[in-house]
Structure 1
Amino acid sequence: MEIPTTPSIAANRPAPEHRKGGIDWPIFWISGGFFLLFLIAALVNLGWLSSVVDTAFGWATRGFGLYWQVLMLATFAVSLGIAFSKLGRVKLGGIGQVPSNSTFNWVVIIMCALLAGGGAFWAAAEPLMHFVNPPPFYGVEGKTYAAGVAALSQSFLHWGFLAWAVLGSLLSIVLMHLHYDKGLPLAPRTLLYPLFGERALKGPIAAIADATSIIAVAAGTIGPIGFLGLQIAYVLHSVWNVPDTITTQALVILAVTAIFTAACIAGLEGLRFVCKIHVWLMLGLAAFLYLFGPTEFLTTVFFKAFATHIVDFAQTAMYRGDGKWLNSWTLFYWGWFIGYAPIMAIYVAKVSRGRTIREVVVLLSIAAPIITMLWFTLVGGTGIGIELKSPGAVIGHGTQPEALLLGVAQAMPLRNLISALFLFLSFFSVVTNGGSMAYTIAMAVTGDRGEPGNWLKIFWAVGMGLVGAVLITMGAGGVSALQSFIVITAVPVSIIILPSLWDAVRIARTMAAEQGVQ
């Protein structure tokens, strides 16, 4: 069956009626109204709200967990199959289109936007938490060398090939063809066009696709904003005796919100600027950790953990043994990344025009995951190596996620300087992620009909910051409830992205024929 876009849509397809005027107001009010209702419910009865979210979370992971595991594996496999066939030479965004960014800038703005949501915070926390309490699949004793290898291998699964592949490889192929070649909106609803035709562009299908995708990514972005306030306030108190109060936490959130709002208003140039700050800070800290940390241990443990990850790849990806552990770790991550996927794919599509399918897939499904694994090894592996040599030197600061990054920094030479630099890194991680997502949500609401209005970018940037600030007044529970909600929204989103498994292949074949790829 042919994709309905090919015969029925002109290259310069006019905007659907409901998008004339720039903004899809029903989607704007549904998604914005959700966060208002969530805040009201949290303020009235946070315990009840958390209970409802926990119940729905459990239902989502029980009913869809296995499906998500298969979906993640299938997306990775299909993306590699397309990229390394002749279809990989297909150019996305139009024949003769020249990339608007240098390769370095392109890699930087994609890596920072996609990794920044949790890479700085979890690079120390997850490996060290698995080191203390090893994943059940490996059956090793905690706080041993074997536990260190298992901890990094499990972290590689959660932040590696599968996580990155679902965030834009196949979805970007579908969106870039339908938007740049066929004139459809650059919005989540467009992913369903090959299946439903015009019905996907308006009415309930469009509302569900766009609203759930926007709510999911906004919830997943607000979570790191809120936790940043808790983390920085904790470190400032632990190292420099600054009072760890709600005022300190709120000031941190207001500062980060002001900066990523300014970057968002500046558009892609502003986002590119903060991404460069972020990436150079990461590179500097990575070099310092490798040179002044347990260098020999880091070198050997990376290759051992990577080899273990590859050997056990399919088994760990499909692990179904310990349901409680699976829900807390793997399925939480899969729900988080799946919820992010449509909006992230819009961002990738926006900055990747003129790239080939092979370039996009190799970056997202291979290069970016390996870079992420190296980063987790340098940060989390440094903590593990130090802990093996001097037990308590790192985890003695506490086993909470926000304490583990501090433990690594405080165990290094120039500990207060390194602690401060890691604080800046966490700060700019949220700046790049928050700014990129606010910009992309604004694009999704308008369908990328030109540059989104500044007021719309400000609404989402400031709105996410204020929600995060209000939620932390209730403690970590309010932020956790919202971040867990992304797993619930992943249920409809995982259905929205399913057709890309076959639509991306058919679209790639269509473009190959149009471009004369032999």
Structure 2
Amino acid sequence: MSTEPTYPVAPDQQPQEQPPDPTIVTIGVVAVLLVVGWASIGKDNFAGVSDAALGWVLGNFGWLFVVAADFFLVLCVVIAFSRFGMIRLGRDDAEPEFTNLAWIAMMFSAGMGIGLMFYGVGEPLQHYVSPPPGSGAEGETLDAARTAMEYSFFHWTLTPWAIYGVAGLALAYAGFRKARSNRLSSAFVPLIGERRANGRPGKAIDLLAVFATVFGTATSLGLGTLQVAQGLHLTAGTPDSRTLDLIIIASLSAAFVASAFSGLHRGVKWLSTINILLAALLMTFVFVVGPTVYALDTIPASLGGYLSQLLPMASRTGAFTDPHWMGKWTVFYWAWWLSWAPFVGTFLARISHGRTIREFLIGVLLVPSGATMVWFSVMGGSAIRRDATGQAHLAERVDEGAEASLFGLLDSLPLGTLTSWVAMVLVMTYFVTSADSASLVMGSLTSRGALHPRTWLVILWGTLMASVAAVLLVAGGLTALQTATILVALPFALVMLALCWSLLTELREDPGAGPPRHALHGLRDAVTAMVGEAVTQHGRPRHPRLQRLRRAAGMRRGEGGDRGDGGYGGDGSGQ
């Protein structure tokens, strides 16, 4: 059993500096370098093995990703509205570290990123042209437009943020409520004990979190590279090639190193602020000059359709749907969100000190999801509307890839060249902040949970992530990125399910949750009353079996036992 204090000190009083863990750093770096070397030297062999592994995973474990994602969403809702929702992430008298407005603004920034830039127009447009199998919609119709928005909401709103919410809640509870270190393995103390959490099993858990973050973030960096390259090709006429992709990755990685050397507050903070402003300006521009009324109509219509179709979409597997489509879309997304869970979960945990679990989960589920719905409705909805009305021929460019869709929409609007450059700058700044933030998380995971890991270690992990993105792009482009994400996320899905078990085990014992409310509590009281009334009509029961029956019927609330008052308390009359 752990001997840690039940309630921790404030976040700023927790250990800030910890030396790197040589075991985790060495194994992690060597493993990533082996993958990079394999993909670089044996490109064909790497592609063949990864394709075979992907087919095996989708054929045998596609259902696991679907069931796990559904479980995380249900669990978040149940915990939020259960007695556990009253527990505070910190001392019982802790106050939120940030105001509600600042907290919401930071969660909003966490909900924006390269993925929304890449898929915000591309996914709705691709589903509009080629509706998901089993939807019954025909391409480029009103039904296809509705289905496209419903699936975009499904892939980007409640379910991914439930995955992030579970990870963030476990980390915040272990860190702020139990005063443990800032590592994923710290949340597993209830299952494996403190000694194992600090030993080899804990190191294995942290290594899986590092691998998931490396490949999940590398996927985002690869997507950003593809989109910047496509933007340069369409706007400046630069030939699109793998050489250009490598130049972009190298340039943005150099910017990330400069950001890392400048420090968290001067680097990530200012770039994150620029990201939010540029994204808001870009979306506002499309909203004003594009089909404004249609975008407003799209929000409630898509939300209603998404909620009504949530159960069918959430329960769809490869049994009655094309497994290839599932691997390209739903399973890939669930794997991507799982691989980002340590990264985003750490961020959400850090900003939520002093909040109740109910506040945390409701905020995490609704605030970023709401912002994402608005983004897809404005950007994706505008693209569909302009194509349907003949103002732009965006459907014809779907074959060019999702990375070209955003620039196709902007090119069909006024000031297309200017806004395309703004979009490219936005993607590039997201590249830098994603690499910077993810590197800080991996530096913390490999430094015994240090809040401020060594700069050289942060740069090392960022460089390795960029290298993984580069070799995967060269090895197979977007398909290779998706394949790697799914393969790495499979074992981490099991880690996340075990994390839920560990979290629930500890929440049940937390006094801040109040007394347990058993489902059979009322039935037990009824049996107790009937047995008590039957056997005490003529005084205290004399038969030993009746005495045992009465004790077993529920005299466990300080009222039962062989006391002189007849076991009922009061005046001993048994009434």
Scaled by the length of structure 1, what TM-score is found?
0.90
Output aligned runs, 1:365-404, within 5 Å: 365-390=365-390, 393-399=393-399, 400-404=401-405
Asked if the contact 1:137/1:319 (under 8 Å) is kept, the reply is no
Asked if the contact 2:114/2:427 (under 8 Å) is kept, the reply is no
Higher RCO (CA-CA < 8 Å; seq separation 6+) = 1
Structure of greater Rg? 2
C-alpha distance in 1, partners of 2:279/2:128?
23
Q: What residue in structure 1 maps to residue 309 of structure 2?
A: 312
- Aligned partner letter, 1:419: S
Q: What residue in structure 1 maps to residue 57 of structure 2?
A: 60
Q: What residue in structure 2 maps to residue 16 of structure 1?
A: none
Query: How many residue pairs align between the two structures?
Result: 505
**Structure 2: 5+ residue runs without aligned partners?**
9-15, 518-575
- Aligned partner letter, 2:5: A
**Structure 1 residues 415 and 40: alpha-carbon distance in aligned structure 2, compared to 1, 3 A threshold:** same
**Structure 1 residues 503 and 467: alpha-carbon distance in aligned structure 2, compared to 1, 3 A threshold:** closer
Q: What residue in structure 1 maps to residue 561 of structure 2?
A: none
Q: What residue in structure 2 maps to residue 357 of structure 1?
A: 357
C-alpha distance in 2, partners of 1:398/1:428?
26
C-alpha distance in 2, partners of 1:506/1:164?
22
**Structure 1 residues 113 and 480: alpha-carbon distance in aligned structure 2, compared to 1, 3 A threshold:** farther
SS at match of 1:134: coil
Q: What residue in structure 2 maps to residue 258 of structure 1?
A: 254
Q: What residue in structure 1 maps to residue 275 of structure 2?
A: 278
- Aligned partner letter, 2:21: D
- Aligned partner letter, 1:496: V
C-alpha distance in 2, partners of 1:470/1:325?
25
C-alpha distance in 1, partners of 2:502/2:171?
10
- Aligned partner letter, 1:507: E
C-alpha distance in 2, partners of 1:512/1:273?
41
C-alpha distance in 1, partners of 2:463/2:390?
44
Output aligned runs, 1:464-479, within 5 Å: 464-472=465-473, 474=474, 477=476
**Structure 1 residues 86 and 405: alpha-carbon distance in aligned structure 2, compared to 1, 3 A threshold:** same
Q: How far does residue 466 in structure 1 lie from its aligned partner after superposition?
A: 3.7
- Aligned partner letter, 1:409: L
RMSD between aligned residues: 2.7
Q: What residue in structure 2 maps to residue 433 of structure 1?
A: 434
1:494 to 2:493 alignment: yes
Q: How far does residue 471 in structure 1 lie from its aligned partner after superposition?
A: 4.6
1:201 to 2:197 alignment: yes
Asked if the contact 1:339/1:493 (under 8 Å) is kept, the reply is yes
Q: What residue in structure 2 maps to residue 214 of structure 1?
A: 210
Deviates more, 1:412-421 or 1:196-205: 196-205
Q: What residue in structure 2 maps to residue 128 of structure 1?
A: 125
Asked if the contact 2:104/2:367 (under 8 Å) is kept, the reply is no
SS at match of 2:408: helix
SS at match of 1:446: coil
Asked if the contact 1:219/1:483 (under 8 Å) is kept, the reply is no
Q: Cα deviation per residue 1:193-219 (whole Å; 9 max; x = unaligned)?
A: 221113542444223311122111111
Output aligned runs, 1:171-182, within 5 Å: 171-182=167-178
Deviates more, 1:232-241 or 1:259-268: 259-268
**Structure 1 residues 111 and 26: alpha-carbon distance in aligned structure 2, compared to 1, 3 A threshold:** farther
C-alpha distance in 2, partners of 1:80/1:514?
16
Q: Cα deviation per residue 1:117-173 (whole Å; 9 max; x = unaligned)?
A: 411111111111111100123210001121111001001111110111101x23323
Q: What residue in structure 1 maps to residue 78 of structure 2?
A: 81
C-alpha distance in 1, partners of 2:440/2:482?
20
Deviates more, 1:427-436 or 1:106-115: 106-115
C-alpha distance in 2, partners of 1:123/1:393?
17
**Structure 1 residues 269 and 137: alpha-carbon distance in aligned structure 2, compared to 1, 3 A threshold:** farther
Q: What residue in structure 1 maps to residue 557 of structure 2?
A: none
Q: What residue in structure 1 maps to residue 524 of structure 2?
A: none
- Aligned partner letter, 1:363: G
C-alpha distance in 2, partners of 1:368/1:12?
29
Deviates more, 1:220-229 or 1:136-145: 220-229
C-alpha distance in 2, partners of 1:22/1:103?
35
1:420 to 2:421 alignment: yes
Scaled by the length of structure 2, what TM-score is found?
0.81
SS at match of 1:137: coil
Deviates more, 1:415-424 or 1:229-238: 229-238
Asked if the contact 2:447/2:453 (under 8 Å) is kept, the reply is yes
Asked if the contact 1:116/1:432 (under 8 Å) is kept, the reply is no
Q: What residue in structure 2 maps to residue 147 of structure 1?
A: 144
Q: How far does residue 20 in structure 1 lie from its aligned partner after superposition?
A: 10
